[in-house]
Amino acid sequence: MSPHTPEILPPHPLRPDYDRSLGADDVHALFQRRLEPANYTTRYFTALAARLDKELSRAPDDDQLAYELAFVLLQNRADADAVHRARDLLDRVRTEAMARPGDVAHLRGLVASIISRLDAPVAAQHRIARRVNWSINNRCPMACRGCYNPFAEDQIGLTEARVVVDKLAAHGTSDLVLSGGDPLLWPPIFDVIDHAHQAGLKVALDTTGYTLTPETMARLSGSLASIRLPLDGSTPDIQHAFRRSRDRDLVTRFRRSLQLCDDAGFNAVRVHTVVSRPNLTDLDAIAETIFSHACVRQWLLFQWWGRRASKRLTDELAVPLAEVTAAARRLGERYPDKEIYCASTDKRELVNFFIQSSGQVVTLASGYMEEFIVGHMLHDDMDTLAASPVLDFPAIHSGLPVTIDKPAAQGDTGVTHERTMSPPARPSEERP
Ligand SMILES: C[S@@+](CC[C@H](N)C(=O)[O-])C[C@H]1O[C@@H](n2cnc3c(N)ncnc32)[C@H](O)[C@@H]1O
Ligand code: SF4
C-alpha cells in the first residue's frame, strides 16, 4: 500500500475578529498580533511589554493599557514579581469600561489561582514535568475548526530534538506525547522516537494517521507505548464538521489506520474524538467503528474547546459538559469492558507542559488568547522551566498517563483517572 501524500494546509487564522482598522504601529495592534506564530516569542513579548509600560506611564488611567500589560507580563516567562504586578494592574482595571469584560474576569481568576499556588508552593522535588506534550512538527494536513494547537513558526532539527529528549529524561519526565501538526510528516521523527525510547521515556504518537503504512507501523510498534488516532464522525460530512482537510475521504483513511494497527498486532491505540454539536448523535456509530478494531484500547472524548474560536463557531459547535458526560456515561454502559474517558474543557487550564516545534515551552488556559510562554527547551535548564509559577503542578500530577503502559488483557481497565478528565464513564467506577 503506498503512502498517501497529504496536502499541507496553510495555518488557519489565529483568531477571526482581528481589528484590521488598527495602524501597524499602534500598540493595541501589536498586542492583538502577539500570538501569530512569528510573534509568539519571548523577544516579541519583551519588546511589547516595554512599549506598553511606556504608553501606560504616559496615560496611567488607561484601563485597556493596564489590562494589556498585565496579560503580556503573565504570558512572557512570568516569575513571582511579574504575577504580582499583573495582579495589581488587573485590580485597577474597571471591568465595565472594557470591551470584553469576561476576558478580564477570567484572567483575574487565573492570576488568583497562580498566586494561591505561590503562597503554598510545591517543593522543588515535586516540580517534575512527568508528562510532556511536544508539538514536534509545525506542519499539518488539516485545519480543524477551533484547533487549539499553538503552532510555532520555527522547527528544530534532529540534533536539537535529541538534546530536548535528553533533558527531559534527565529531569524525570516519564511520558512523552509527540504530536503536531502531524509528527509523521517530519522525517526525523523515527529517530527521535527511537532516541526517546532508548532514553527510557514512554512515547505516545498523536498523529492524523494519514501516512501510516505497514512499513512505518513495523518501524514504530517496537518503540511506541501508544498511538492516538482521531475519528470525529462516522461519515465524511460529520467528520468534516470539525476535522477539515481537502480530502473528503478521511473516514476511510482513519479506518485504514486502525486496520494497519490491527494487522501489526499493535493493541495500544487510543482513539480521540472531539465531541461537538454535529457529532453528538453520531457517537454510537463512531463507537461501533472503533470497537470493531482489536487495536483500540482506549477512547477519549474531548469536549470541543472553543478557546480560539469566534462566537459564531462556538454557537455552532460547542456542547455543554453535561451533555458530553451523559453521552460518555451511556456509551460506558453500552461498552462496559472498554476504557472510555472524557476530557472536559474546564479542567485543562495550565496543566500542559507543551513544547512547540521551535523548542519553546508554553502552557494554555481556556480564555481568549490565554497562551503562556514558560521558557525554551534549548535555552533554559529544566529546573528553571519547572520553577514557572504559571504551571499548575498538582493538577499536572493528577492527570491520566499520556501513554498506555502495556497492552492489557481484554477487560483490564488499567489506567487511573486524571484531573483533566471528567469522572469515569463506566458505571462500575461510579459506585461508592
Ligand atoms: C492538537 S491535536 C495534535 C495531534 C494531531 N494533529 C491530531 O489532530 O490528532 C491533539 C488532539 O486535540 C484535539 N483537538 C484539537 N482541537 C481541539 C478543540 N478545539 N477542542 C477539543 N479537542 C481538540 C485533536 O482532535 C486531537 O485529538
Ligand atoms: S487538530 Fe490536529 S490535525 Fe487538526 S488542525 Fe489541529 S493539529 Fe492539525
- Percent of the chain at pLDDT > 90 equals 68
Q: How far is the CA of 139 from the centre of ligand 2 (A)?
A: 9
The pLDDT tens digits for 133-178 are: 999 998 888 889 999 888 898 999 999 999 999 999 999 999 999 9
CA-135 nearest atom, ligand 2: 7
Interval 32-37 mean pLDDT = 89
More confident residue, 304 or 409: 304
**pLDDT for 9:** 63
Report pTM. Answer: 0.91
420 — pLDDT class (breaks 50, 70, 90): very low
The pLDDT tens digits for 199-242 are: 999 999 999 998 899 999 999 999 999 999 999 999 999 999 99
| CA of 232, nearest ligand number | 1
Name the β-bridge partners of 343: 302, 421
Which segments of 63-145 does DSSP mark as H helices, in order? 63-75, 80-91, 101-119
Nearest residue (CA) to ligand 1, atom 8: 208
Grid cell for residue 390: 504559571
Assess contact for 300 and 272: CB atoms under 8 A.
yes
| DSSP structure string for 32-49 | HTTTSTTT-SHHHHHHHH
**pLDDT for 399:** 67
The pLDDT tens digits for 237-261 are: 999 999 988 887 888 989 999 999 9
Q: How far is the CA of 239 from the centre of ligand 1 (A)?
A: 13
Phi, psi of 113 (to 5 degrees): -70, -35
The number of CA neighbours under 13 Å toward the Cβ of 415 is 29
Assess contact for 282 and 238: CB atoms under 8 A.
yes
Q: Does the pLDDT value for residue 430 go beyond 50?
A: no
Rounded to whole angstroms, how far apart are CA atoms 294 and 130?
29
Q: Residue 312, Cα to own-chain centre: how many angstroms?
A: 22
Q: Does the pLDDT value for residue 400 go beyond 80?
A: no
| DSSP structure string for 143-205 | --TT------S----HHHHHHHHHHHHHHT--EEEEESS-GGGSTTHHHHHHHHHHTT-EEEE
Q: Return the closest-CA partner of residue 419 out of 401, 405, 404, 398.
A: 398
Q: Does the pLDDT value for residue 316 go beyond 90?
A: yes
Rounded to whole angstroms, how far apart are CA atoms 387 and 374?
9
Name the β-bridge partners of 273: 301
The pLDDT tens digits for 82-103 are: 999 999 999 999 988 888 888 9
The pLDDT tens digits for 328-341 are: 999 999 999 899 99
Phi, psi of 50 (to 5 degrees): -65, -40
Whether the CB of 208 sits within 6 Å of ligand 1? yes
Q: Does the pLDDT value for residue 355 go beyond 70?
A: yes
Assess contact for 339 and 414: CB atoms under 8 A.
yes
Whether the CB of 210 sits within 6 Å of ligand 1? no
14 — pLDDT class (breaks 50, 70, 90): low
**pLDDT for 210:** 84
Q: Does the pLDDT value for residue 78 go beyond 80?
A: yes
Residue 350 region, left (φ>0) first, then alpha (ψ -120 to 50), else beta? left
Radius of gyration (C-alpha) of the chain in whole angstroms? 22
The pLDDT tens digits for 271-293 are: 999 999 999 999 999 999 999 99
Whether the CB of 388 sits within 6 Å of ligand 1? no
Q: Does the pLDDT value for residue 406 go beyond 50?
A: no
314-320 contacts, C-beta under 8 A, 24 or more apart = 314/146, 316/277, 317/145, 317/146, 317/241, 317/242, 317/276, 317/277, 317/278, 318/276, 318/277, 319/275, 319/276, 319/277, 319/280
Q: Return the closest-CA partner of residue 356 out of 171, 197, 206, 153.
A: 153
- Percent of the chain at pLDDT > 70 equals 88
CA angle 56, 58, 61 (to 5 degrees): 60
**pLDDT for 318:** 96
**pLDDT for 15:** 64
State the average pLDDT for the chain. Answer: 88
Q: Three-class SS of residue 31?
A: helix
